[in-house]
Structure 1
Amino acid sequence: MQIQAHEVDLPTPTGAMRCYVYRPKDAGSTVPKKFPAIILYSEIFQQTGPIRRSAQIMAGHGFIVIVPEVFHELNPLGTVLGYDDAGRDKGNADKVAKTLEAHDSDAEAIIQYAATLSDYSGRIGAMGFCLGGGLAYRAALNPAIAATSCFYATDIHSGLTPSQPGNGSLARTGEIKGELQMVWGKQDPHIPAEGRALVYKKLADEAVNFTWHEFNGVHAFMRDEGERFDAELQLLGYQLAIGMFRRVLY
């Protein structure tokens, strides 16, 4: 399926938020096709090449994919941080500086924007990697989100700041009404076994509709750039996410 792309700057309570939108092309039918949407949350580096390619892959499988700049109020619009020490330090500082409530209002702005698109079916999900996995989990608290796929989600078990243990989302897990998919790497030092166990127990205790997948992989195994990339696990990851989104959102 061919795709098209554009940018849009959405108003939010904390300022303009640039979003990158990837959509399937209409095949030429006289009746426009309707597609579900996915909010795709990036790592701390915002929309890097690997994140853009992830969005394009998902759009090519029949979804409107919206990638927000997660730290839009802390950087000039269009900022992309490097996969280096400077980029990592800036991204981690931004993570602490931004409130969870600002992420909530960002998600709501995207949901409202999706509703204005003529090819939107009215069903929406969320997906994310690393920080974005935690933000997708947070977005799942919004009742509009019908399905969520979280890849090696950081900060759920450990907290964004010392004053927000469990990043504030774990305690609200019972509010998740859609289906949830959790994908982890067993050799990921950022989310150790005890951290994963804490999240699993909370999901089970709250009777959330979820599936749990642990691979023998390190952190960021989906990122097709750098030494952590695992092509086999990436393919499995996309198959899991696409399968769930097609089943739930279509």
Structure 2
Amino acid sequence: MLIVESHVDVNTVVDGKDSPMRIFVFTPTVPQYPNARFPGVVLFSEIYQVTGPVARFARQIAGHGYVVAAPSSYHEFTGPEPLAYDVPGTDKGNEWKVAKTLDSYDQDVIKTVDYLLTHPNCNGRIGSTGMCLGGHLALRAGLDTRISAIVSYFATDVHSRTLGPHPANNSPTPPPSSPHTLDNLSRISAEVAMLFGLKDTHVPDAGRDLIRLKLREAGVVNSFHEFAWAQHAFIRDELSKGRYDPVITKVCFEILLELFGRVLKTEVGERDAQPQKVEHVC
């Protein structure tokens, strides 16, 4: 499937401050069918904004029949250009990810979904995905009930409550009326697939175990995948510091296609809220 690439600038307002946000758009096309319609996917980037690897990931998704919208997360601090995969770029990305408020991250979701719902080739069904910071944002995007399928790659700062300048960062217990993603999972109605490497030093064993436990306690329909030899950033095919694993990346993409294809492309109607009865048979 061919792809048309474009961008749109939308205005966000948080705490009375206006900030233009660029959304990079990747639209599949079918020759001679200009009105073809596809599900939408919000793609959140790692701390470096929309880099080459993120754009290639977007094209891969779009090529399977999804309108992909990738917002520039740091629009309050800088332009839409990506940060470099070097020490200064890493330091800036890590600084901004905790300086940006959760309200602002949530506003980005609202504005990006709003845009997709106006896109002439989007059929109104929306999923989210992303890696690293973007993996967290893809999961948090589920707080917007218009998101119905989520594929999160090695989501950082979920288990530690360390995204945004809020109380209880790194606390084992939530603060009162906690805004943190970990403490609001019960608000997610989307089906979720979480993807992690067992060698990920950013999300250690205890952190992954906590996320899995909280998803189950919240009643979120989810699948949880852990790959024995994968490290952090295992899908990044550029400057991954030796961590890129193309075979595991392919397996994970098949997981994404299965979930998005089943939930976003198939007409199944509303989900029955009654617990499924599973027979215990051999």
TM-score range, shorter chain: over 0.9
Q: Which amino acid aligns with 2:238?
A: E
Partner of residue 205, structure 1: 217
Q: For 1:100-111, what aligned pairs fall within 5 Å after superposition?
A: 100-111=102-113
Partner of residue 140, structure 2: 138
CA RMSD of the aligned region, Å?
1.3
Shift of 1:48: 0.7
Cα distance in 1 between the residues matched to 2:57 and 2:97: 22
Partner of residue 64, structure 2: 61
Does the CA-based 8 Å contact 2:49-2:73 persist in structure 1?
A: yes
Does the CA-based 8 Å contact 1:157-1:165 persist in structure 2?
A: no
Cα distance in 2 between the residues matched to 1:162 and 1:220: 26
Higher alpha-carbon Rg: 2
Partner of residue 255, structure 2: 240
Cα distance in 2 between the residues matched to 1:119 and 1:26: 11
Shift of 1:165: 3.4
Q: Which amino acid aligns with 1:193?
A: D
Residue aligned with 1:86, SS: helix
Select the structure that is richer in helix: 1
Structure 2: unaligned runs, 5 residues or longer: 171-178, 266-282
Give the aligned length. Answer: 248
Query: Which region of structure 1 is more displaced relative to structure 2, 238-247 or 158-167?
Result: 158-167
Cα deviations by residue, 1:54-97 (Å, 9 ceiling, x for unpaired): 00000001000000001111102x22111111111000010111
Query: Which region of structure 1 is more displaced relative to structure 2, 173-182 or 12-21?
Result: 12-21
Residue aligned with 1:37, SS: strand
Does the CA-based 8 Å contact 1:221-1:234 persist in structure 2?
A: yes
Q: Which amino acid aligns with 2:252?
A: G
Q: TM-score, normalised by structure 2?
A: 0.85
Q: For 2:46, which of 24, 33, 43 is the aligned residue?
A: 43
Cα distance in 2 between the residues matched to 1:27 and 1:249: 23
Q: For 2:234, which of 217, 221, 229 is the aligned residue?
A: 221
Cα distance in 2 between the residues matched to 1:33 and 1:25: 7
Shift of 1:116: 1.2
Cα deviations by residue, 1:13-36 (Å, 9 ceiling, x for unpaired): 14110010001013213x721100
Q: TM-score, normalised by structure 1?
A: 0.96
Partner of residue 192, structure 2: 180
Cα distance in 1 between the residues matched to 2:7 and 2:120: 16
Partner of residue 78, structure 2: 75
Structure 1: unaligned runs, 5 residues or longer: none
Cα deviations by residue, 1:141-199 (Å, 9 ceiling, x for unpaired): 11000000000000100122562537701100000001001000000000000000000
Partner of residue 21, structure 1: 25
Residue aligned with 2:143, SS: coil
Q: Which amino acid aligns with 1:74?
A: F
Q: Which amino acid aligns with 2:190?
A: G
Cα distance in 1 between the residues matched to 2:167 and 2:202: 19
- Identity between Structure 1 and Structure 2 (%): 40
Partner of residue 165, structure 1: 169
Cα distance in 1 between the residues matched to 2:168 and 2:147: 23
Q: For 1:74-153, what aligned pairs fall within 5 Å after superposition?
A: 74-76=77-79, 78-153=80-155
Does the CA-based 8 Å contact 1:10-1:19 persist in structure 2?
A: yes
